[in-house]
Amino acid sequence: MRKPVEVVRLVLWVLLLALSPQTQAQPQAPEAELKAAILVNMLLFVDWPIQASQPTDRLTLCYLDAGPVTAVLDLLSGKIIKGKPLQVLRVNATTAAGCHALYLSPNDNTGPARVVPNLRSGGVLFVGDSPGYLQRGVMINLEVDNGHIVFDIDLRAARQAGLMISSKALRLARKVAE
């Protein structure tokens, strides 16, 4: 079993590799692995308000529908993020309130419409993986741009949910909606 420090270093290395301009000439890890690594790494840069519905002894990352990214996320369950074990769970729209972050995959086109309005102010970080999701309430959206995984942040939506996103993450974003 890897030590938590090694896992964090690995995630940071994958993130830096994905964002580096030199990676165009080098083979990259599969898209799902890069997206999962970026998503988990983003959790390091978010502060959540204390919510009665969310556990305080772990960081819970949920998803609605299975797919390639969620398969990789499942493998990362148990890793230490911000001093807490990461718990990756498949949930439905009614149980998503107990999550710190909710990943909405491209497989679920109704995801934002099903859960975002109900949880908008509930301290849940919505992370998407589809063009247009940022305009549908997702706070961090991953996309492929010229062969690179990039992300956009809707800072207004995050603030409305009581979330604080570090300026370090904001500087790495392709776009930030304020």
Strands 59-63 and 101-104: parallel
Among residues 143, 8, 149, 138, which one has the least CA distance to residue 76? 8
Q: Which residues 6+ apart lie within 8 Å of 120 measured at CB?
A: 137, 157, 160, 161
- Dihedral sign for Cα 79, 131, 99, 83, please: positive
Mean predicted confidence (pLDDT) in 24-36: 75
The CATH number of the domain holding residue 50 is 3.40.50.2300
Among residues 108, 172, 110, which one has the least CA distance to residue 140? 172
How far apart (Å, rounded) are the C-alpha atoms in residues 1 and 145? 34
Check whether 88 has a pLDDT greater than 90: yes
Least confident of 29-43, 64-78, 97-111, 134-148: 97-111
Predicted confidence (pLDDT) per residue in 150-167, tens digit: 999 999 999 988 999 999
In contact, 79 and 7? CB cutoff 8 Å? yes
Banded model confidence at residue 11, pLDDT cuts 50, 70, 90: very low
**Counted domains in the chain:** 1
For position 114, what pLDDT does the model report?
62
Q: pTM for the whole thing?
A: 0.79
Least confident of 3-7, 73-77, 151-155: 3-7
**Can you give the residue range of the structural domain that contains 86?**
4-177
Banded model confidence at residue 78, pLDDT cuts 50, 70, 90: very high
